Each structure stands twice: as structure tokens, then as C-alpha cells.
Amino acid sequence: MTGKELLSKAEEARKNAYVPYSGFAVGAAALSKDGRVFTGCNIENAAYGVTNCAERTAIFKAISEGVREFAALAVVADTAGPVSPCGACRQVMAEFFEPDMPIYLGSMQGAGIQTEIKSLLPGAFTSKELKHKDDY
């Protein structure tokens, strides 16, 4: 699957965004190494802090279905340039993505870039920092 195809899955998922507070709809699509696509949208809440971003929705859907290895992620929003994932989502990506795995950041205006988690979150805190890392 190409980056463009994965971005169009993210655009489709964006239509389901639940955004009564910000009005800012985001869509994401995570491709597992075994070829399955898990889509996600942002889901807001009257208690704003428990809002879930589109990226984490897609990644958590995949993880909860047993996926542990990812091949790519696409994210899209109505931004002038490529959408910039929030810090919490970058930390979740660092947990599950290989440093060089392609991440496609798009916009409804057509802008798009390919990046990777090692660039989005250099120096990430990961299991390597933990003493009991071998337990996992």
C-alpha cells in the first residue's frame, strides 16, 4: 500500500471525527506488517483532557486486536501544511514504531510529507530506559 492510499484511508476515517468542541477533525490510518489497516479519528469529550487523538485511536485499535508490528502510519487534518502530531501521540508512536518506519503527514489542502518517529521524537523515553525491560 502506498503512502497516498494510506492517506486516503485516513481521510475517510476523518469523516467520523467526534469534534463538537474544537471543530478540528483529524483522521489516521495505521498499516500493520501483516497488511491490515486500522483507522482512527479524534474523539473529544466535555471534559476536554480525556480527548483521544486520531493517531492514538488508530494505534490502540490495532494493539487491541493483537497487532504489535507496524509498517506505516498516515495522518490527515485540514491544516495549511502537513498536520503535526501532538506530543502524547509521538510518545505512543515511539512505543510501537521502529525508528525509521514511514509516517505520512498530510493535509486536506494537499500538502504531504514522509517522516519517521526518530525525527518526530528524538531522544524518546522507551523501554530501553527501564531496568526490567526484559520482562516485555
List, by residue number, the catalytic residues.
Answer: 55
Q: Residue 10 interacts with ligand THU (CB under 6 A)?
A: no
Instruction: Give bridge partners of residue 72 from the DSSP assignment.
Output: 31
In the shown chain, the binding pattern of residues 34 to 73 toward ligand THU, with x for contact by CB under 6 A and - for none, equals --------x-x------x-xxx------------------
* Residue 131 beta carbon to ligand THU: minimum distance, rounded to whole angstroms: 32
Distance from the Cα of residue 44 to its chain's centroid: 16
Q: Residue 29 interacts with ligand THU (CB under 6 A)?
A: no
Pairing of strands 37-41, 70-77: unpaired
Q: Residue 26 interacts with ligand THU (CB under 6 A)?
A: yes
What's the CA gap between 22 and 18, in Å, rounded?
Answer: 9
* Residue 23 beta carbon to ligand THU: minimum distance, rounded to whole angstroms: 9
Q: Containing H/E element for 75?
A: strand 70-77
